């Protein structure tokens, strides 16, 4: 298993691409590495529109909803390193990963990599019990 910081460093080095390397697929890969659970349920997409169609087909509104099918919801201040955080976004919510230390959330999007304080999260999902 890859440790969290190594995973974040590796993910930070790749360019953003919907369906291959975006906030949803990066978070889903972390969950798969940490738990062996595939939150995307085998679904893979090639564009934002394709992703939305597939999420709708499994009965969820968006990429956040697909994580809710597999992981327990947690209040933001209960999230710990490695958990998935739901962050506010300009156009839509983004998924981030709580960084080692548990005080900041690693975020990845079309504009690159950044981090935000955990207090900025709306809520999140527990990755490990």
Residue of 111, 128, 113 lying closest to 4 (CA atoms): 128
Residue of 36, 43, 72 lying closest to 59 (CA atoms): 43
Residue of 20, 49, 26 lying closest to 39 (CA atoms): 26
What's the token pair of residue 23? Answer: 């906030």
Q: What is the pLDDT of residues 56-66, one digit of tens each?
A: 888 888 888 99
What's the token pair of residue 68? Answer: 């809710």
Count of structural domains within the chain: 1
Domain CATH number, residue 18: 3.90.1720
Query: What domain range includes position 25?
Result: 4-125
Q: What is the pLDDT of residues 69-110, one digit of tens each?
A: 999 999 999 999 999 999 987 666 789 999 999 999 999 888
How crowded is residue 37: how many other Cβ atoms within 10 Å of its Cβ? 13
Q: What is the pLDDT of residues 40-60, one digit of tens each?
A: 888 888 888 888 888 888 888
Q: pLDDT at residue 1 above 60?
A: no
- Note the pLDDT of residue 91: 67
Q: pLDDT at residue 4 above 70?
A: yes
Using a 10 angstrom Cβ sphere, with 0-12 exposed, 13-18 middle and 19 or more buried, the burial of residue 87 is buried
Residue of 7, 65, 70 lying closest to 33 (CA atoms): 7
Reported as a pLDDT band with limits 50, 70 and 90, residue 129 is low
């Amino acid at each position: 298993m890859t440790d969290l910081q190594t995973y974040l460093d590796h993910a930070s080095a790749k360019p953003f691409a919907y369906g291959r390397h975006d906030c949803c697929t990066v978070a889903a890969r972390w969950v798969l590495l940490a738990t062996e659970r595939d939150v995307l349920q085998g679904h893979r997409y090639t564009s934002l529109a394709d992703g939305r169609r597939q999420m709708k087909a499994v009965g969820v509104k968006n990429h956040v909803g697909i994580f809710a099918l597999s992981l327990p919801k947690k209040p933001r201040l209960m999230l710990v390193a490695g958990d998935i955080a739901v962050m506010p976004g300009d156009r839509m919510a983004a998924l981030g990963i709580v960084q080692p230390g548990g005080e900041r959330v690693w975020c990845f999007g079309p504009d690159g990599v950044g981090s935000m304080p955990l207090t900025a999260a709306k809520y999140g999902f527990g990755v490990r019990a």
